[in-house]
Structures are given as C-alpha cells and as structure tokens.
Chain A
Amino acid sequence: MTTTRHLHPARPAGATGQRVTQARVVHSEWTKLRSVPSTAWSLLAAVVLIVGFGALYCVLRVTRPPTQPEAVAAFDPTAVSLTGVQLAQLAIGVLGVLLVAGEYATGTIRVSLAAVPRRLPVLWGKAIVFALTTLTLCLPATVAAFLVGQSILSAERLDISLSHPGVARAVFGSALLLSAVGLLGLGLGALLRSTAGAVAGLFGLLFGPQLLAGLLPAAWSDRIYPYLPVPAGAAVANVQPDSLALAPWTGFGLFCLYTAVVLALAAWQLRRRDA
C-alpha cells in the first residue's frame, strides 16, 4: 500500500452517452447481487431446499403409503413433491428483505442513491434483477423437485404426470410464487429499511392474516380467507384447490397486487424520505 501512483485525468473527449439509464442500473444491481457470496449461497440453499426437502418428504410418504380409499383420493402427489417450496418461500422472502435492508444497514444505500439520485431506478433495478434471478433458479428447481418426487412416488404408483390437468400450472406457479414472495420481501425491506422490522413484517403479512381471520366467526372468516395473501398465492401452486380458494391465476394475481402495493409504497417512501 505504500506505492501509490498519481491519477491522470481520464475524461475522454467524447464523454456523451454516459448517463444513468434503467438498463445500466439493472446491470449494476446484477453485479451487486452476484458479488456477495452470502447471497449466492442463500439462493443455492433455497434451490437445495426445494429439491431436497421435496424428495425427503416423498420418501417419507412412500414408506407409509395411504391405504384408505379417501386418503388415496386426497393424496396430492404434486403438492407432496413441492413441499420444499414453502420453506424456500421464507428463505427467498428474507433474502429479498436483506437485499435492500442490508444496504441501509451497511450505509451502501447512500453510495447507491448518490450514483442514481432519481432513486427509483435503484428500486426497480433490484426488483427486476431479483425477480429474474429467483425465477431462473426456482423454475428448474420446482421442475426437478416434481420429477424427482414423482420418480420416488412411482414405487408405490402414487405418482402423477406433468401433463395431468393443473399439474404443470402448479409446478410453474410455485416458481412464480417464490419470485413474488421474494419481491414482497424486497418491497418490505425498502419500505421499512430495517432487517428486523422487514422480516417481522414479512412473516406478519404471510402468517398474521390467517391467524386473525381465525378469530372471526366462521361465516366471515370463510369469506375473507381466500383473499388473504398466502391462501390467494397458494391457489396457483395447488393442483387440488380447496373449496374456498380463488381460481389459480386470480389468486396469484391478487398476491401480485399485494406485492405491487408494497413496492409502490416503498417507491413513494424512497422518493420522499431522506436517505
């Protein structure tokens, strides 16, 4: 460190075109995402969780196959092979929180916002990069979990084919839902700025409404239940929806709407508040 060269001015003659654009900020956010090892490990862990936990649960079910006719009828081989998705949801949601709240914790956000003073491109850049990354990883992961799971279940002839009605939609829908939960976490991180607060907010949004709805009279809670975030989102990931659930894509659309509201609030706060 004792040798330091003097820096020559390096402003090129034609410095035009060097302006901040959304595409450049997306590129920058991609560099940020891939250059922190812990983020890469967390994403990998989510993939392992999806495939590994699904396979484990399938093995468990194969060793004790359903025998009663009703139990056989109710057995959902897709859901069994995708059990890991529910755990991965939490991991990816928390990672989404960390992606933004972590910048506030380290103070990096000031560097980011000084580079992009219009601010919103930073939030959109993070959201685009994270959504695409999680989707790129989770889509193959849910397909793999399904295929591995079915090959395990086939030992007891409990398996189902991807071409069976609703199955492909549930497998792809699970991956989409994972991305959406990630974005929800990211939005909460940007809105609340603190890791602890945003993780609490995420868990509160995912689990709180069902608990509260349970306190209401059954007639009311049955009516509200399908519109709560998790039941709405889960509609797209289930082959056999329960009788109360919304139609698969309606439910997923509603979940995306909730996420969009959180992101919009985060964007509004980002513009308004001091960094």
Chain B
Amino acid sequence: MIEAHGLTKQYGDKTAVDGLTFTVRPGVVTGFLGPNGAGKSTTMRLILGLDAPTSGSVTVNGKPYQQHAAPLREVGALLDARSVHPGRSAYHHLLALAQTCGIRRSRVDEVIDAVGLGEVARRRAGGFSLGMGQRLGIAAALLGDPATVILDEPVNGLDTEGIRWIRSLLQGLAAEGRTVFVSSHLMSEMALTAQHLIVIGRGRLIADTGMEEFVSRAEPGVVRVRSTDPAALAALLRSREVAVSEATDGALAVSGLSTDQVGRLAGGAGITLLELTAQQASLEEAFIDLTRDAVEFRAPMTGGAQP
C-alpha cells in the first residue's frame, strides 16, 4: 500500500511533482503512466525517501519509507537498470544489498535463478545488456520478498520473451496480495499488465481509474469501408447523419456506426463492399488525448513534418 498526500517536489523554479494525492492498493498491478518528464521517476524517488518532498507526504505500508527498520523487506524497487557498478558481479551486487538487513545468502541465488541470470551472475555487470540489467534490477527488488514492489519502466530494453515474463511476474506478485506499482510511458504495455491506472502529466494527477473504466471511456471506434462506389456510399451514410471522411485510397472512415450497420445499409442499397473493418480507437490514442495538454517535450509540428 502506497499513500501519497499532496506530494509536491520543486527543483528550483521547476515543479516536477505537483500536489499528487493517490493510493496504490495491494492485490492488483497499478500502472503509473505519463509522458516522458511527467514526474514518474521523481514520484518514485519521493516514495523511496531518496528525494525529500517540498511539501506533502507519502507512506509505504503505513509508514514513511525511512522509518522502516528493514526497508528491503517492505519495499523492493527498481529505479534504474544501470545502477550497478560495472566492475561488480550481479551476485555480489545482490549479496551486498542482502547483507544490509541480514537476508540469507541462499536467497540471493534464489532471486538470481528466478530472473534467469544464473549463468551470468558471476560475471561483471558492466558487460550486461540493458535487458540483463533490468533483470538484475528486478532481482534486487524481489530480494527482501517485499509486500510492495515499485518498478520504474521495467520493460525497457527487454525482448518479447522478457516483456511477457515481466507481465506474468507482475500479475503473479499482485495475485499473492502484494502492492505492485509499475511506471511506463507506453499505454499499450500497461493495457496488458495493469488493472488500475494512475496517469500524471506535468507532475499533476490526470486520472486515477480502473483499467476497464479507462478502456470503456476511450473513444468509440471507426469503421473503415471500401467499396466499388465510394461516392454513393458516402452519400448514403451521410444521410444518416454519420461522420464520414475519405481516406487517400478511396476508403471511407465512418464513425458512429458499427460494421454490421454499415454492411446492412450498403447491402440494402446494392453497393458492393470490398472491405469492412472495425478500427478500435486504440488505448494509446485515448492516452495521448488525455495527456495532450500535459506533454512536456513535443516535437514541433510545423514545417516539413506536416503532409
């Protein structure tokens, strides 16, 4: 359980996190979503007591992080996969961590096996790929068998197999009743992993909602339809007060009708259809809509980039 109350962090004039209030509950995977620079990593550092909040407070499992006698046993965190001394082996990196609160040596081997680093555990971590670094970071997070797991962008640098592994690992941890808080800037990834979403932009809370609720709120789909007589079909559909736009290849994009409805209308009018597809407005688009005003860094949309 993570509880933030009016959490605010300013670096000089810049407000990185602005009055965040949210609760991350145990038993589900909570996705922490926001564009780059939204304040996700800062929030996680505040939770772990690495940075001190300018105002507000945050507790983990009922206490400020610093007040836990054995923090690794309460909270496991992965902040940055490259936070390993390049000259040290994965095994010794984890062993040194374990020793700070008397976690037994065999547990180190257990987590190494669990993340699939058994064969490279004794090699210098400097030679690790980003994906291996992520696995090592996750091993460190699991070391104390913590009730709360906090992972910052854990799928970065992982291959497909690794991403699938993370997904099932996170869901497994949540199913065991743990609090799982995972940040990402990719909605598509969260859609497959998280049951709850906390979305921030420019340090402010934008949404704190269940994944299903978020999905159902996403804009209704568009139907793409291609026919032998696009002009007639467009006229027919427009008479139903439906929004129709023409795509470049002669297809029509229809919003407000289902594929069934479009098909029946066309059939009734004797128009031959060549293609009829439902195009669900993606979660990614819903997310982009939601955070449009809160994007920190955006490529300028002027000049040659425009069609």
Residues of A within 8 A of B (CB): 1-7, 9-11, 15, 17-21, 24-25, 27-29, 31-32, 35-39, 102-103, 106-108, 110-111, 113-118, 274-275
Nearest chain A residue, comparing its CB with the CB of B135: A1
Question: Is A20 a contact partner of B114 (Cβ separation < 8 A)?
Answer: no
* Contacting residues, chain B, for A1 (C-beta < 8 A): 116-117, 119, 132, 135, 162
Question: Is B111 a contact partner of A7 (Cβ separation < 8 A)?
Answer: yes
Counting CB contacts under 8 A, is B29 at the interface?
no
Q: A24-B100, A32-B85 are in contact. List 9 more A-B contacts (CB 8 A).
A: A7-B110, A9-B145, A18-B73, A18-B101, A19-B69, A106-B82, A110-B48, A117-B68, A118-B66
Interface string of B92-110 (1 = CB under 8 A from A): 1101110111110001001
* Contacting residues, chain B, for A31 (C-beta < 8 A): 92, 95-96, 99
Nearest chain A residue, comparing its CB with the CB of B82: A107
Beta-carbon contacts under 8 Å, B69-87 to A: 69-73, 77, 79-80, 82-87
Minimum distance in angstroms from B203 CB to a CB of chain A: 16
Question: Is B132 a contact partner of A19 (Cβ separation < 8 A)?
Answer: no
* Contacting residues, chain B, for A29 (C-beta < 8 A): 96
* Contacting residues, chain B, for A39 (C-beta < 8 A): 87
Pick from A11, A106, A114: contact of B71, CB below 8 A: A114
A-B contact pairs, 12 of them (CB 8 A): A1-B119, A11-B145, A19-B101, A20-B101, A28-B100, A32-B85, A32-B92, A37-B87, A106-B83, A107-B80, A114-B49, A114-B77
Question: Is B69 a contact partner of A106 (Cβ separation < 8 A)?
Answer: no
Question: Is B77 a contact partner of A9 (Cβ separation < 8 A)?
Answer: no
Question: Is B97 a contact partner of A36 (Cβ separation < 8 A)?
Answer: no
Pick from A2, A24, A38, A108: contact of B102, CB below 8 A: A24
Bound together, the chains give a CA A116 to CA B169 distance in angstroms of 26
Beta-carbon contacts under 8 Å, B45-65 to A: 45, 48-52, 65
Counting CB contacts under 8 A, is B89 at the interface?
yes
Question: Is B97 a contact partner of A117 (Cβ separation < 8 A)?
Answer: no
Bound together, the chains give a CA A111 to CA B50 distance in angstroms of 9
* Contacting residues, chain B, for A24 (C-beta < 8 A): 99-102
Question: Is A10 a contact partner of B82 (Cβ separation < 8 A)?
Answer: no
If A1-B116, A4-B115 touch, whether A20 touches B69 (CB-CB below 8 Å) is yes
Bound together, the chains give a CA A25 to CA B87 distance in angstroms of 20
Question: Is A113 a contact partner of B99 (Cβ separation < 8 A)?
Answer: no
* Contacting residues, chain A, for B168 (C-beta < 8 A): 6
Nearest chain B residue, comparing its CB with the CB of A7: B114
Counting CB contacts under 8 A, is B172 at the interface?
yes
Question: Is B96 a contact partner of A32 (Cβ separation < 8 A)?
Answer: yes
Interface residues on B, range: 35 or more
Counting CB contacts under 8 A, is B88 at the interface?
yes
Interface string of B129-154 (1 = CB under 8 A from A): 00010010000101001000000000
* Contacting residues, chain A, for B135 (C-beta < 8 A): 1
Question: Is B84 a contact partner of A108 (Cβ separation < 8 A)?
Answer: yes
If A5-B114, A113-B50 touch, whether A36 touches B88 (CB-CB below 8 Å) is yes
* Contacting residues, chain B, for A7 (C-beta < 8 A): 110-111, 114, 142, 169
Minimum distance in angstroms from B124 CB to a CB of chain A: 8
Question: Is B116 a contact partner of A3 (Cβ separation < 8 A)?
Answer: yes
If A31-B96, A117-B65 touch, whether A275 touches B51 (CB-CB below 8 Å) is yes
Question: Is A18 a contact partner of B145 (Cβ separation < 8 A)?
Answer: no
Bound together, the chains give a CA A114 to CA B68 distance in angstroms of 11
Question: Is A32 a contact partner of B88 (Cβ separation < 8 A)?
Answer: yes
Question: Is B51 a contact partner of A20 (Cβ separation < 8 A)?
Answer: no
Bound together, the chains give a CA A274 to CA B87 distance in angstroms of 26
Counting CB contacts under 8 A, is B176 at the interface?
yes
Question: Is B87 a contact partner of A38 (Cβ separation < 8 A)?
Answer: yes
If A6-B172, A115-B101 touch, whether A20 touches B71 (CB-CB below 8 Å) is yes
Question: Is A35 a contact partner of B96 (Cβ separation < 8 A)?
Answer: yes
Counting CB contacts under 8 A, is B113 at the interface?
yes
Bound together, the chains give a CA A37 to CA B88 distance in angstroms of 8
Minimum distance in angstroms from B119 CB to a CB of chain A: 8
Question: Is B70 a contact partner of A20 (Cβ separation < 8 A)?
Answer: yes
If A18-B70, A111-B140 touch, whether A35 touches B83 (CB-CB below 8 Å) is no
Minimum distance in angstroms from A271 CB to a CB of chain B: 10
